[in-house]
Amino acid sequence: MLTVTSLNAAIPSHPRLPYPSTTYWKPVKARAVCCLRSNGDANGLYNKASPNVESEGHDNVKMTQPSNEEMEVKKGDIWRLFREAQQNILYLNKQRLVAIQELNKANKEKQLLVARIKHLEAEKQAGVGKDKVSICWELLLRLDSMVLTGMISTRETSDLRRLVMDHVVGVADVSNDILQKNDAELLAELRHFSDRSKKTGFRIVHICTEMEPLVSVGSLASYVTGLSCALQRKGHLVEVILPKYTIMDLDEVQGLREIETQYYSYFNGQLHGNKIWTGVVHGIGVSFIQPLYYSSFFNREKVYGYSDDFERFTYFSRASLDYIVKSGKQPDVLHIHNWETSIVGPLFWDIFVKQGLGATRVLLTCHDFDLQHLQQPDKLSLCGLDPPRLHRPDRLQDNTKTHLVNILKGGVVYSNKVVIMSSIHSKGRIIRSFSHGLEHTLSIHKDKLVIAPCGFDNSIWDPSKDNFLPENYSVKDMKGKVVCRVALQHHLALSNNASAVLVGCIIAEVSDIDLGNLKAVVRHATRRGVQFIFMDISKNSSKDRVLESIQELLKDENVRFINGLDEALSHLVFAGSDIIMCQSFHDPMLQVPLKALKYGAAPIAVTSTDNTFRHFVDHNYESTKFSQFISSGFGRLSLSQALDEIENNPSRWKQKIMDAMAMDFSWEAECYDVHASAYAAIKNL
């Protein structure tokens, strides 16, 4: 018999639950219980007899049949007890389900935590191979400190720096035990280290305003870190110079230290003191410049968007060049970025090239020609430039507003090479359609323009070693992708339909979505049994309201929404999806199309301006290999066409997916190749 007591004993009290399972209900006070037969008699309470007849039991005890009124009262009590028992049982079952849900939630959290720990352990193990490079960077930064304090000459510093760079492994082995020694002892060790071989890698110094994970606003941050790590893994030596923002996250900086002496840089007719901080980030040497007199320049709540941005970044650009000269660095390439450090170009050729940097060349990377920054010509004198010399049509004079100077144009004119970051457009298309008034300038300098695609970090995004996935997989063994698909459906309570196509969509900017078109596409696809997962990671303050409207608009049993970035779940979305809808194939911030290809999901672009949800890429010999590949595979497909191909020609579709997974679009692939070729070309000028 099922009783309240037996039910209570059957419910487990799990140690992970925030409550004991027995405290969620209040038992009804026990009463005397009798059971009725089908004819209404109370079993065991009296013997059946005819009315008004007394029956004699054992020991001559007389038993009298209850009256009808008493029977009705007893019946009522029994049914009341039965209903109360039913309520208790239902309540217990309800609490049992709640307990099971909490237990499942705790288990999922445990799985995610274990995956996160494995991921961090893998990152730590991956960092072991960078130790020698990090040690060498600490040595190089110690040399910077020595020359700034006057301990050694710039000429000897240059020789010792070359020694360290040419013998990364040997110097690291020697110096690992002496990094704790003082500067004099360290210098003695380096002077006794013999020079036996030479390396052919380039020495590159980035002068920039962002670097992931220290300070990240746009695509520049991940580009600087991703490209720098790729270059260094290929044997080049890379250094980054940044402003020391107060909002910067310095927890990721290894060996952060302040150089004890100040150095001075020119600005607004005077020399001003600066502090230098040095450290290592992901094996890359980083120097931070902290102005003293103009301390408010980088002591703000955000990186960009102030009325004095020209003064702020012009100060930083000039201070970076002064620091390079003062510390005796002789890089092969000064790599500058966007308008914020474009002023380095004219500063270098008009002032610094004759200060020991005759062998150095300048390369500019431009992520977007939409931001160029126009300024009054006389402002150029703040950093020591000559306004009349530069306010000319062939130099910095703006092509449209001729009374102003264009800072980004100056970077293009005064750089030896210009790398334009675009995953989908050709050089010609960019000059014609996306130059924002610089078409004439870019046409004149088109021979030094090169196009490079963005990359992604394949040490984190790789399904064959991704610790966030329940089972890994690769192009040679795809069984794990099926496991990831089932896990994703289970996690989001989607029906486990093996034949249903699973479509993921990462929303980076909700305002860019055409809700009418999106609704039409989703409704058409869900009628075909397609399942959708939308993950909104936008940072718009009004995104919650917009997301609610999208959820209401797309409400369906086959549609799920994830509000906010969940790192582990985002990996599972890529791994479990058959198709990933992208807002653009050129996605320098999130690299969604690149990650989709790596994880065996077809990237299908959806734009707010195209009712058919197609995104035609520029198929041109001057465009990137990524552009040509995506155009021949997925770039011209709408979601409906992709679903048709999956249904009608599954073997062909599977081959497309496997071909895409075999491609390498990481930072170390085409992006690295373009930059390495550009460095080599300008070095030979």
> In whole numbers, what is the pLDDT of the chain averaged over residues?
82
Q: How confident is the model at residue 169 (pLDDT cuts 50, 70, 90)?
A: very low
Whether the predicted pLDDT of 258 surpasses 50: yes
Q: 24-46: per-residue pLDDT in tens? A: 344 444 444 444 444 444 444 33
Q: What is the pTM of this model?
A: 0.73
How confident is the model at residue 2, as a pLDDT? 42
- How far apart are the C-alpha atoms of 285 and 134, rounded to whole Å? 8
Tally helices (H) and strands (E) across the chain. Answer: 22, 19
**Least confident segment among 73-87, 250-264, 643-657:** 73-87
The confidence score (pLDDT) of residue 578 equals 96
d(CA 628, CA 620): 7
Across 315-319, 532-536, 600-604, 620-624, least confident range: 620-624
What is the structure's pLDDT at 68?
77
Q: What is the pLDDT of residue 457?
A: 94
For residue 124, the model assigns a pLDDT of: 54
What tens digit of pLDDT does each residue of 92-109 get?
A: 888 888 888 777 777 776
**Arithmetic mean of pLDDT, 592-620:** 70
Which range, 525-539, 550-564, 634-648, is most confident? Answer: 634-648
Retrieve residue 369's tokens: 């020609």
Q: What is the mean pLDDT of residues 4-24?
A: 40
User: What residues contact residue 663 under an 8 Å CB cut-off, 6+ apart?
Assistant: 597, 629
Residues in the chain: 685
What average pLDDT does the segment 330-343 reach? 97
The closest alpha carbon to 291, from 308, 266, 269, belongs to 266
Q: Return the closest-CA partner of residue 202 out of 333, 357, 336, 320.
A: 333
68 vs 362, residue with greater confidence: 362
Residue 235 confidence (pLDDT) above 70: yes
Q: Which of 237, 145, 238, 227 is nearest to 183 (CA)?
A: 145
Instruction: Indicate the DSSP class of residue 348.
Output: I
- With bands split at pLDDT 50, 70 and 90, how would you rate the model's confidence at 199? low
561 forms beta bridges with 534
- Asked whether the predicted pLDDT for residue 57 surpasses 70, the reply is no
Pair 327, 274: CB distance under 8 Å: no
Cα angle: 538, vertex 540, 542; to 5 degrees: 120
Distance CA 373, CA 200 (A): 37
Higher pLDDT, 565 or 380: 380
Q: What is the pLDDT of residue 177?
A: 55
438-442, Cβ contacts within 8 angstroms, sequence gap of 24 or more: 438/369, 438/372, 438/399, 438/406, 438/408, 438/409, 438/412, 440/399, 441/399, 441/409, 441/412, 441/413, 442/412
Task: Spell out a b/e string for 174-199, using b for 16 or more CB atoms within 10 Å of the CB, else e.
Answer: bbeeeeeeeeeebbeebeeeeeeeee
162: pLDDT confidence band, cut at 50, 70 and 90? low
Which range, 146-155, 172-181, 524-533, has the best average confidence (pLDDT)? 524-533
| DSSP track, 551-591 | HHHT--TTEEEEES--HHHHHHHHHH-SEEEES-S--TTT-
How much is the pLDDT for 472? Answer: 96
pLDDT at residue 20, as a whole number: 39
State the pLDDT at residue 128: 42
Asked if residue 677 has pLDDT above 50, the reply is yes
Answer yes or no: is pLDDT of 299 > 80.
Answer: yes
Share of the chain above pLDDT 70, in %: 77
Bridge partners of 254, per DSSP, are 280
For helices 625-633 and 650-662, what crossing angle results, to 10°? 170
- The sign of the torsion formed by the CA atoms of 407, 413, 414, 419 equals positive
Is residue 7 pLDDT above 70, yes or no? Answer: no
Q: Would the pLDDT of 51 be above 60?
A: no
- Give, as one character, the DSSP assignment of residue 44: T
